[in-house]
Structure 1
């Protein structure tokens, strides 16, 4: 069998999310916790306007989730600690030789490299749980990887980062050849575009060490949306310039150079912890729409909507305030995971 990860723009059966639960990620005050619950709920309601959504909820949060989400969102209970569904859940794949077959790649998850602060052992089981609920064949993988660490065009191209899949805290004995062989087996990748690094803040204690889904994405084969920090005062100014130069030399599975489209960062450079990694690249695509990150910058948010609307023709772009999500270590793409539709 040959598994293939479809592009995010392919039709979806549904989107999966995980509801926050109390712990270090959510926050240590009531105000912070309420802010986190509200942010995840806002994204869920935005997605549910376009397609079915299933929310995995820890039993300790079941009553709150039902109250906040309402009746239009499916709730399933399972033990969890981390709730970044893109990373802890499965990566869904299809088999073009077996129409109607859905697979779920169950990556090995160790909390983004097993940092001391991370609580991840419960959520490490969500790949199998969600895959089973979806009726998918489980595709087990010993590769420590997260859904936010890859982006595909559905035609064999995958974007990934040297500091993620080759991170010795994740895959101690990995090299590019081994990673590429496993991605060929699990998601059908044939062309591998390695980014040398990610954004600066992503290397903090609570970062992912360079997830690609905050840096670049592939809205269609041959096209790339790339985070562009336009202020020389931000360390990501040089990072994004260097990445653009590197990616301009890359080729996709069809041998094409990429048309690179800059997606400029908002004007804000810092928050209370230092330089921000606010990025419009971290949007999620749904049936007929795009759920975009908003950062309270009306001009930049509007510009991002325009670029996204052009990159995804025929889809309605909806902005949701993503600042509370970024404060906790990620964005809208990081908390969602699409399940592709398959022929019945």
Structure 2
């Protein structure tokens, strides 16, 4: 089987110029929850904000057409396809570009974040192929179970992943690290894989992903990584952040550079109303054409995080969107967006 890397395809960094952003509209199940308007408001605020900077295409289940029409700005293009859920980062394709600018996708196997009991994916498992067709991109089907939130690249040959996602028995039973790395090299065009041991504590709860990397660490420049840290020792993510930061500081990228690690403190909120620890994180931001879309939590550290990212990403407008309704449903802004590179 011919793989993308053999033909010169690779996954660009998120800060490379976009053709558009893809999203999926909340349709049913826990993503809608008991307060559907909260989900509609959150997803539409993200889409409508991005649409001021670059084109947005929203995949909408036919049954959800009325709510999408009500909440989305006219600038957001809508296409109808059957959906189970609304996490486009995970159900959608990973876009690749070729040496001559050709567009392709890596279509991972999607099985409901490791075949979790509550998940349904009969429709979502087909969305990557549908989006590839709508985008006019060549499709390469991987045999590995993976989601877009489980990878983060620098565009220069390095990818960040976590052991608890890629080696999850519900995803890739009996796979070795070597097999995972080979698949990522073949499909993303990377040369260096940096393994983090785990994700945030809440991400291992009922509706978690079991450790997606895009909530704990992300490249913002070649050689520069932002990492989630929890200053309060009372929070279970205090040690998680320390461990990840130390590992990243000891790492080099595909070009042999020692990584510069910038810590972004978690919001001051430690627990939700049910007493469970929150996984609120500023790492789960989204980079687009001339902007940074940052998760906001009505927290004193919102502006601190905005200032850090603004300094690291000069020339980009930092836009804050209340991400609490998204996190209550199991993810963040990065989780509901997927970039199509120009």
Normalising by structure 2, we get a TM-score of 0.97
Query: What corresponds to 1:205 in structure 2?
Result: 206
* Correspondences of 1:104-119 after superposition (within 5 Å): 104-119=105-120
Say which SS state the counterpart of residue 112 (structure 1) adopts.
helix
* Whole-angstrom distance in 1 between the partners of 2:96 and 2:53: 21
State how far apart, in whole Å, the 1-side matches of 2:330 and 2:121 are: 15
Separation in 2 of the partners of 1:182 and 1:242?
Answer: 26
Structure 1: gaps (5+ residues): none
* Equivalent residue number for residue 55 of structure 1: 58
Superposed CA deviations along residues 41-81 of structure 1, whole A, max 9, x for unmatched, are: 00001111110000000000112212211311100000000
2:14 is aligned to: 8
Shift of residue 88, structure 1, vs aligned partner: 0.2
**CA separation in 2, counterparts of 1:3 and 1:81?**
30
1:18 matched to 2:24: yes
User: Which residue is 2:223 aligned to?
Assistant: 222
- Distance (Å, rounded) in 1 between the aligned partners of 2:208 and 2:273: 16
Contact 2:23 2:88 in 1 (8 A): yes
**1:284 maps to which of 286, 295, 298:** 286
Which residue of structure 1 aligns with residue 263 of structure 2?
262
SS state at 1:170 partner: helix
SS at match of 2:302: helix
Shift of 1:224: 0.5
Return the alpha-carbon distance in structure 2 between the equivalents of residues 35 and 300 of structure 1.
23
Structure 1 CA distance, aligned partners of 2:210 and 2:67?
32
Give deviations 1:242-281, integer Å, cap 9, x for gaps: 1111111111001111110011111000002400000000
Partner of 1:196: 197
2:4 corresponds in structure 1 to none
Which residue is 2:38 aligned to? 35
Q: Which residue pairs with 1:306 in the alignment?
A: 307
The correspondence of residues 1-344 of structure 1 with structure 2, limited to 5 A, is 1-27=7-33, 29=34, 32-96=35-99, 99-273=100-274, 274-297=276-299, 299-341=300-342
Separation in structure 2 between the aligned mates of residue 48 and residue 34 of structure 1, nearest angstrom: 20
CA drift of 1:231 comes to: 0.5
After TM superposition, give the deviation of residue 2 of structure 1 in Å: 2.2
Note the C-alpha offset of 1:82. Answer: 1.3
- May I ask how many residue pairs the two structures share in their alignment? 335
Unaligned runs of 5+ in 2: 1-6
8 Å contact kept, 2:31–2:39: no
Contact persistence 1:3–1:185 (CA under 8 A) = no
- Residues 92 and 103 in structure 1, CA contact (< 8 A), matched pair in contact too: yes
| Contact 1:284–1:333 (8 Å) recurs in 2 | yes
| Alpha-carbon contact 1:2-1:185 (below 8 Å) kept | no
SS at match of 2:58: strand
Q: 2:18·2:340 contact (CA, 8 Å) conserved in 1?
A: yes
C-alpha deviation, 1:24, in angstroms:
2.4
**Residues 20, 56 of structure 2: 8 Å contact kept:** yes
1:119 Cα deviation after fit: 1.4
TM, length-normalised to structure 1: 0.96
CA–CA distance in structure 1, aligned partners of residues 131 and 38 of structure 2: 26
CA–CA separation in structure 1 for the residues paired with 2:308 and 2:73: 32
SS in 2 for 1:20: coil
